[in-house]
Structure 1
Amino acid sequence: MSKDTIVIREIRSGDNEQIEQVIRDCFHEFKIPLEGTAYTDEETPRMFESYQNSNDVYFVIDNDGEVMGGAGVKPLKDFEVDVCEIQKMYFSPKVRGKGYGKLMFEKCLQFAKELGYKKCYIESASQLKAAIHMYESYGFKHLKEALGSTGHYSCGVWMIKDL
């Protein structure tokens, strides 16, 4: 794996199977509940099709054709129109700890601002300690309860930030 072959780009239709596998593998690796999480979301097997609106985007980390992670921005379902959610941010162990997650996160935040969102919401699982620490370092504040209607009842960490 060479740094000059790794790019962050928008998802393509041919990426669905690979990003689905990255997402599902993380749940098993970190022992995150499968029900009530992104694992069982209808959009997880069809990520490309799920992010084709003018107010959302999904980015992937591509290493010479191998999808090694991703993250997306969407309006927070059943909530205020100026609040987005960063969702389905998962990475292969091959790229963790190399700064790509931070780059991806910054790209998502920038995209959210460009779309005119005023706040950004995140749900996570307590097992994802490194991710939660990163969110905190970017100024995300913990909430006492979930916002919107994501259906992720097994996520116990809810955070928000003004953009």
Structure 2
Amino acid sequence: MKKSSRLFFLLLIFFITRSAFGQTISATGTTWNASVTTITEAGSNYSSNITSAANQTTLTISVGLALLTNWKVFVKKQDATWNSNLTVWVRKTGDGTGILTPVLGTISPNGATSFIQLTATNQEIFTGFSNRFNVPIQYEIRGLSVLIPASSYSTSVIFTVIDI
């Protein structure tokens, strides 16, 4: 007997765009509609992870006229319809660009970083100085299994910038 199942995932990206000194964070990219391939042969299984494009979202942090400003970016998730066996992971895959880099517009940690698991609590993903443009972000869903009911699942990823 053949079993066919399909899971769909929708990651919505939201941004909190204001802080006390006027920093803003904005994004470009599209909502990630991840789908798992249909299993048609007994004994087959899903890959346990599915990963988005390395630049699924790009973030821009603007500090306005206060160019000599340090900031931190935090990230968390807010589930809409989600299976608790699935986890969402996020990472910065590059540094983007700054104004007169490397003099202004630095970012830390530099380079690609490891995935961090998202929870409902804010976690620091990176820090920076001055304006920063087109910082690439990648997502990964882990824990896929045929034991998870076939359905559509969705969660929101929320980025927040604060001055430090």
Same fold (TM over 0.5): no
Higher relative contact order (CA 8 A, sep 6+): 2
**TM-score (ref. length: structure 1):** 0.30
- Bigger helix fraction: 1
- Bigger strand fraction: 2
Larger Rg: 2
